Amino acid sequence: MASIPILEERQAQIHQKGSQPFEMDCGKHSLAGSVSQRACVFCGSRVVLYPIADALHLIHGPIGCAAYTWDIRGALSSGPELHRMSFSTDLRERDVIFGGEKKLAAALDELIDQYKPKAAFVYSTCIVGIIGDDVAAVCRQVEKAKGIPVLPVHSEGFKGTKKDGYKAACDAMAKLVGTGATDKIAPVSINILGEFNIGGEAWLIKKYYEEMGVEVVSIMTGDGRVDEIRRSHGAALNVVQCSGALTFLAEMMEETYGIPYIRASYFGIEDMATALYDVAAHFNDHAEVMARTRAIVRREVGAIMPELERIRKDLDGKRAAVYVGGAFKAFSLIKALRHLGMRVVLVGSQTGNASDYATLQDMCEDGTVILDDANPLELSKYIIEKRADLFIGGVKERPIAFKMGIGFCDHNHERKMPLAGFAGMLQFAREVHTSVTSPVWQFVPARAAAMAAGEETP
Amino acid sequence: MLLRHTPTEIKERSALTVNPAKTCQPIGAMYAALGIHGCLPHSHGSQGCYAYHRSALTRHYKEPVVAATSAFTEGASVFGGQANLVQAIDNIFTVYNPDVIAVHTTCLSETIGDDVPQIFAKAKADGKVPEGKYVLHASTPSYVGSHVTGFANMTKAMVDYFAESNGRRAKTVNLIPGYVEPSDMTEIRRIAELMGVPTIMFPDTAKVLNGPLTGKYRMFPEGGVTIEELKKSGSSVGTIAMGRTASMPAARALDAKCKVPCEILGLPLGLHGTDAFVDTLRRMAGVSVPAALNLERGQLVDSISDWHQYLYGKRVALVGDPDQVLALTRFLVALDMQPVHIITGTPAGKKYEKSLREAVAGVPADVNIKVPGDMLLFHQWIKNAPVDLIIGNTYAKYIAKDEDTPLIRYGFPIYDRLGHSYFATMGYRGALRLLEKLLDAILDRKDRDADDIDMELVM
């Protein structure tokens, strides 16, 4: 189906629904020489742990790893802002030759004295794995001296994919879980896992649960606090969002503390409502929880429907392309876009697995292009071919969309407004509407020509 | 109080950098490589590096930034990255079909000791580099230098790989513009054109990272220096290197390799900086300065005279890349302003620091200089000795907000404003724009703070 060159090894990562038997060859390491949109292990760990605002985050490595992750995700904190600073051992050539352990110990010593954090996370980068610094030993030694948890995060960039970084982050957090007091925690209580409070989303969601009468013991990790994580094993249920950034931790907590977990997504009306109802159903011996949940959903949906209806009139029949990190988010987006009357003509993810792609296949209509670990050339080709009006992606995809003269919505960490929750659905609709119907697209040469020829209306 | 965790008391720090005023070499190498026409930068390391570099450059330019990666795994890190790089070269020419692949190394591939020239030889022997296609590489371990030296190394690699001398001297002058914006490169070229001097500029990111909206996605945009031009650079009459840190290594290499004499200047920023460039270009090419350029200079001097009373004595804190910081310091001093806190994150050396101290020798105030320093120290200095104005990249906006001090965004990265891609700060015109920015910042603040009775219409 392709007129652009696609390597044989990648052929099985691109499908068009209905045109051939579907078996996505996913979960592979990107090919050398690929212009993939993916990142590394360190990136995975960093995004998961970074929102813990009263912890020290020290990056043990050359300056780049610290510089590129300095305050780039708007994970909001209601209190301390320590997570927005950038701390690095800034390894130099002589450290690479003689080892960086002494420097690391000295840096931790100075930082902990200065900032008195509740805990410290020490991230290993590629170079640390190669020169063989014993980061865990340094952490143990400092922990003993300072009396706070000092946790190594084994996030050497080359040791796998971003998912392995999630796992390394969960391993580090697992050492905190179970170290705090759990008395006074109500029986109807949850932890929210995999929600990072971008644009204040965790606050929205927490409010819904609290209104239902459910105590939120901890949010991992949006607006996160060390002490909350330490007592999170006292919750009755873990609610895990996303394609699995924190699934590892939920599994570990189930095994160690017998806390069951359910999956949730907070994007779009159906998924948001389901996320609340599922929790209410779990606590079904408390009938009032379900009653309150119904009331909340009725009220919230009622509040956004009139404007959604108006927006839908403009967007009805428009076409969307979706390329996101985790496939789970794609499911929600497809449903949310359907609510706006839009058709998804391309969908892909960086890290989806076989069952994710099977689900995507079921959700999509015939002709939809489904991609795993795509490059910009493929994305642009199918977007043009499928005449998409909107592209939903992250930072690297935004200018590609704009170059092609179509609307864009950042559903990654550069969103500035909460897109989760019921109120977030309305925000999402407004963002999509603003971008898709922007008058700027009439100036795109191809469209201007089409309009002049009467083939397209603005 | 966004930066509530910045202590006012300054303690000596032995082992760490807080809030860096620099980043690592590979991103500079990637930026330089994007200034070659039809070039795909390639990161020889693990997958995260290039994802971060592409994201950072995308945020700064609001343009698609492409690059490829060797996508190191644990296996490659143990057995070396040769197989990855050879496969990458094959895949890249097959799928993306660039004219050139510019490989830069990372801390990972440097430390495991990959020998890139040897891997290139293998790739060529295996027929993986098609006829008429090119590869080049620069060694850019992240634990040495900064993004600026990474840029310098990739620029030098363009000379090492391509420049050749055909024994004759052409009339062209080589211009190495340094780690400046696409808009600056366009402006430097415009000045040379005004003077009627044919030039070869490398790298040249104009029209690569500030291209138009066309309705099409182009992986390899229009701009960039061509390999043909790079080859011919060895036959030019001379080279002007702008900015010692970013441009000197390439100019020296061209001198050594092809006997092209070079002049190492500061950036053509501000009155003196641009004068030095124009004068050097005039002498090197044997031309005279045209009236049009004299007019631009005259207008700049005229504007400075019109507004000088608002600039006099204003205290400025300045953080950025070494060549920019030095040129800006000189310009500020020429405007009778007082640069009092000066930091660059790049380890630019003793000689650089000496130039900076000479530039502020006449400033009647205590001047703090740190090479290399970070933005925590910068903030602490400002807390201890407040200023009227801060000049720095986007990260400086937190300091500006906390200290309620006007900010002029300048340098890399700028993630939150339009301008740097399109409006140059080099040349006389660029200096005029800088002057406008300085005055806007100072006078907007003056108006904002004025009592009703002191509010003045005419300034």
pLDDT tens digits, one per residue of B348-377:
999 999 999 999 999 999 999 999 999 999
pLDDT, residue A412, reads 80
- Look at residues A324, A319, A201 and name the one whose alpha carbon lies nearest to residue A267: A201
Average pLDDT score over residue span B62-82: 90
Residues A268, A210 share a domain? yes
Residues A283, A320 share a domain? no
ipTM: 0.95
Q: Which amino acid is at B304?
A: I
Residues A398, A325 share a domain? yes
**Global confidence as pTM:** 0.96
- Number of H helices and number of E strands within chain B? 17, 14
Q: Nearest residue of B to residue A161 by CA position? A: B47
Residues A214, A328 share a domain? no
Residues A291, A221 share a domain? yes
pLDDT tens digits, one per residue of B187-229:
999 999 999 999 999 999 999 999 999 888 999 999 999 999 9
Residues A110, A78 share a domain? yes
Residue A32 within a domain: no
pLDDT, residue B63, reads 95
- Least CB–CB distance from B19: residue in A7, A85, A102: A85
Whole-number Å distance between alpha carbons of A420 and B101: 42
pLDDT, residue A2, reads 45
Residues A85, A148 share a domain? yes
Query: Which domain does A342 fall in, by range?
Result: 316-415
Whole-number Å distance between alpha carbons of A223 and A50: 10
Is there a contact between A160 and B74 if contact means CB atoms under 8 Å apart? yes
pLDDT, residue B362, reads 95
We report the CATH number of the domain holding residue A226 as 3.40.50.1980
Interchain CB contact of B79 with A (< 8 Å)? no
- Which of A396, A415, A434 is a domain's end point? A415
Residue A8 within a domain: no
Name residues whose C-beta falls within 8 Å of residue A2's C-beta, 6 or more positions apart in sequence. A14, A381
Please give the C-alpha separations between residue A297 and each of A209, A271, B169, in angstroms, as whole numbers: 11, 11, 79
Whole-number Å distance between alpha carbons of B36 and B50: 18
Name residues whose C-beta falls within 8 Å of residue A428's C-beta, 6 or more positions apart in sequence. A267, A336, A409, A411, A419
Residue A131 within a domain: yes
Sorted by where each starts, the structural domains of chain B and their CATH numbers stand as 25-162 (3.40.50.1980), 173-292 (3.40.50.1980), 312-425 (3.40.50.1980)
Contacts of A5 in chain B (CB under 8 A): 94-95, 97
pLDDT, residue A446, reads 73
pLDDT tens digits, one per residue of B316-329:
999 999 999 999 99
Average pLDDT score over residue span A140-154: 98
Reported as a pLDDT band with limits 50, 70 and 90, residue A327 is confident
Contacts of A131 in chain B (CB under 8 A): 111
Reported as a pLDDT band with limits 50, 70 and 90, residue A351 is confident
Total domain count, chain A: 3
- Look at residues A165, A72, A163 and name the one whose alpha carbon lies nearest to residue A121: A165
pLDDT tens digits, one per residue of B416-444:
999 999 999 999 999 999 999 999 999 99
Report how many Cβ contacts below 8 Å link chain A to chain B.
265
Reported as a pLDDT band with limits 50, 70 and 90, residue A35 is confident
Residues A64, A162 share a domain? yes
pLDDT above 80: residue A179: yes
Is there a contact between A158 and B73 if contact means CB atoms under 8 Å apart? yes
Residues A147, A72 share a domain? yes
